[in-house]
């Protein structure tokens, strides 16, 4: 059954448009809704919030610079505060796949704020216009990318980095807990010399710590915003001091290290700061994928796998095999990593859409980058709290596999040479005996080439672990 929707008539410079009667937006938003019925994916809530905050700061700066009267400026600020809460997200219906500058979404913001502000001033008979007042001293070409950089910076600082700190701390705690658990190292998925489980987990923790470092290293470029360049970077129609004041106000409101673009022509044409941080997230995603794969390998079993770790049981793993439990958090993390890697490919390709004075791939760059940040932040906490914190080591199994590795022959290189040691390793594997038994069987002790005491010293797996 068709919905009974009432409409009103709005107009813009192209003529009349029919708009849902209860919509806060107006003609230009409706045109975009009609033009881009593509994915059903709209702007992230964090992005809408950032657009509102930019408009709020712009209203204050315009009032101070006598571009806006006090009544309209205050009404716009109050409307922006409401939108920033997320309460009106449903009035931002435009698809992510839209005009590449984000003009449609900038006008969506202008129209919603103008409607809310006009309502608040109705008793005074004052109207707030989307372009003349809400968008005063601005262009979509500097406002929309500024909003992206604000939203991304806020998500990195307030969501991703704290979540990564939780994950790193969890891994570090396990590294300390597992410091004396000796296990077989593996290279090429083949037996290698011993390592401790704690050493492995210290590497995982370092991977996450380095990810935090990489994100922090990118922040100065991500937090550098193009506001003030207006149409092509020249700042046309913008009063002196406007951009500096808006950015100052934004920084105060958000607590973020926002700065004005050092070169407005570069800032207008390129989105390299977004590309840079997306690349850092891609690197982090690869690291998390590797960690997750290692953990599920070590937890494989329970009877026919490696069985070195017990991964917390979270849910039944099969609709047909009773009692089966799977490493579901590892698998979810790997899928997140795949999505982030794919998002980065889209962001990188979209960055090439910077022709002359403007990049025209910004909305999809914003959506993908904000999604990557949200996914990584969420999965980092989930992995820490639901999996890493609850891991336990099978100490006996780890030690057995460490001592069973033919690569424990490696310290004998210094006593009998590489080729003789290789012969011992092959004999050990072929005859299913320990390295020590292979040394004896092949006559190295009997011939006096190595003593029992030297074997005790050389084949002690606890002395093969290094000082790291």
What tokens does 395 get?
Answer: 């100490």
430 in any annotated domain: yes
Q: Which residues of 187-209 are buried (b: 16+ CB within 10 A; e: fewer)?
A: eeeebbbbbbbbbbbbbbbebbb
Task: Give the dihedral sign, CA 411/412/414/417.
Answer: negative
Q: What is the length of the chain?
A: 468
Instruction: Specify whether 92 is located in the same domain as 193.
Output: no
CA atoms of 164 and 169, how far apart (whole Å)? 8
336 domain residue, yes or no: yes
State the pairing for strand pair 15-20/7-12.
antiparallel
In this prediction, residue 354 carries a pLDDT of: 84
**Is 250 within the bounds of a domain?**
no
Domain match, 287 and 347 both = yes
pLDDT score, position 387: 98
Phi and psi torsions of 416, nearest 5°: -125, 0
**CA dist 397 → 121, 199, 297, 309, 311 (Å):** 74, 17, 14, 9, 15
Q: What is the pTM of this model?
A: 0.96
Count CB atoms within 10 A of the CB of residue 356: 8
Does a structural domain hold residue 234?
no
Q: How far is CA 274 from CA 5, 33, 370, 432, in A?
A: 40, 27, 10, 55
Q: Domain for residue 237, yes or no? A: no
- Domain check: are 207 and 309 in the same one? yes
Q: Which of 396, 427, 448 is the last residue of a domain?
A: 396
Is 72:56 a contact under the CB 8 Å cutoff? no
CA dihedral 246, 92, 343, 289 (to 10 degrees): 100
Asked if the structure places residue 468 within a domain, the reply is no
Q: Which of 358, 341, 369 is nearest to 274 (CA)?
A: 369
pLDDT beneath 70, residues of the chain: 1-3
The rounded percent of the chain whose pLDDT value lies above 70 is 99
Whether residues 49 and 189 fall in one domain: no
Is 211 within 8 Å of 280 (Cβ atoms)? yes
Same domain, 386 and 444: no
Per-residue model confidence as pLDDT tens digits over 234-251: 999 999 999 999 999 999
Separation of alpha carbons 304 and 282, rounded Å: 34
Per the structure, the complete domain to which residue 115 belongs is given by 7-136
**Contact of 341 with 285, CB cutoff 8 Å:** yes
Indicate the residue among 376, 396, 416 that finishes a domain: 396
CATH of the domain at 411: 1.10.40.30
> Of the candidates 161, 166, 152, 164, which has an alpha carbon nearest to the alpha carbon of residue 254?
152
> Is 374 found in the same domain as 334?
yes
* Residue 1 placed within a domain: no
Of 55, 45, 51, 96, whose CA–CA distance to 75 is shortest? 55
Same domain, 339 and 210: yes
Going by C-alpha positions, the residue among 81, 266, 264, 254 that lies closest to residue 153 is 254
Q: Which residue matches tokens 């570090």?
A: 172
What contacts 208, CB < 8 A, 6 or more positions away? 164, 167, 168, 171, 284, 287, 288, 380
118 and 29 fall within a common domain: yes
Give a yes or no: residue 323 inside a domain: yes
CATH number, domain containing residue 120: 1.10.275.10
Residues 41 and 185 both lie in one domain = no
Largest CA distance in the chain: 108
Domain boundary among 136, 167, 195: 136
Confidence at residue 3, expressed as pLDDT on a 0 to 100 scale: 66
My answer on whether 177 and 220 are in the same domain is yes
How many CA within 13 A on the CB side of residue 378? 11
Cite the active site residues: 188, 318
Q: What is the pLDDT of residue 399?
A: 97
The reported pLDDT for the residue numbered 1 is: 43
């Amino acid at each position: 059954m068709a919905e009974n929707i009432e409409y009103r008539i709005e107009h813009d410079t192209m003529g009349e448009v029919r708009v849902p009667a209860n919509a806060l937006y107006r003609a230009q938003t409706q045109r975009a809704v009609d033009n881009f019925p593509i994915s059903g994916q709209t702007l992230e809530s964090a992005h809408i919030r950032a657009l509102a905050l930019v408009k709020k700061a712009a209203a204050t700066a315009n009032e101070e610079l006598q571009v806006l009267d006090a009544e309209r400026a205050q009404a716009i600020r109050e409307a922006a505060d409401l939108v920033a809460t997320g309460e009106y997200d449903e009035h931002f219906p435009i698809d992510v796949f839209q005009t590449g500058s984000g003009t449609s979404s900038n006008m969506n913001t202008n129209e919603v704020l103008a409607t809310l502000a006009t309502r608040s001033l109705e008793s005074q008979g004052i109207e707030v216009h989307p372009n003349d007042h809400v968008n005063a001293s601005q262009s979509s070409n500097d406002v929309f990318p500024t909003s992206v950089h604000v939203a991304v910076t806020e998500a990195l600082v307030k969501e991703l980095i704290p979540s990564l700190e939780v994950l790193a701390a969890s891994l570090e705690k396990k590294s300390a807990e597992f410091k004396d658990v000796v296990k077989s190292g593996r290279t090429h998925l083949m037996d290698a010399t011993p390592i401790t489980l704690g050493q492995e987990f210290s590497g995982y923790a370092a991977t996450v710590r380095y990810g935090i470092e990489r994100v922090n290293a990118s922040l100065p470029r991500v937090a550098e915003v193009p506001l003030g360049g207006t149409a092509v970077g020249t700042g046309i129609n913008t009063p002196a001091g406007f951009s500096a004041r808006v950015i100052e106000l934004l920084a105060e409101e958000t607590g973020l290290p926002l700065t004005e673009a050092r070169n407005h022509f570069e800032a207008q044409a390129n989105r390299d700061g977004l590309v840079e941080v997306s690349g850092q997230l891609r690197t982090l995603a690869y690291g998390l994928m590797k960690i997750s794969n290692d953990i599920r390998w070590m937890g494989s079993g329970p009877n026919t796998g490696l069985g070195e770790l017990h991964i917390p049981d979270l849910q039944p793993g099969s609709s047909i095999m009773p009692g089966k439990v799977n490493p579901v958090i590892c698998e979810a993390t790997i899928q997140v990593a795949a999505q982030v890697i794919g998002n980065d490919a889209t962001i990188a390709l979209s960055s090439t859409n910077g022709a002359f004075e403007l990049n025209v791939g910004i909305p999809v760059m914003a959506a993908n980058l904000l999604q990557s940040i949200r996914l990584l932040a969420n999965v980092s906490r989930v992995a820490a709290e639901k999996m890493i914190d609850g891991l336990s080591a099978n100490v006996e199994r780890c030690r057995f596999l460490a001592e069973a590795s033919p690569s424990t022959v490696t310290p004998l290189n210094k006593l009998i040479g590489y080729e003789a040691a290789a012969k011992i390793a092959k004999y050990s594997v072929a005859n299913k005996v320990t390295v020590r038994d292979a040394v004896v069987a092949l006559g190295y002790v009997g011939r006096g080439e190595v003593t029992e005491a030297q074997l005790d010293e050389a084949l002690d797996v606890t002395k093969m672990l290094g000082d790291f």
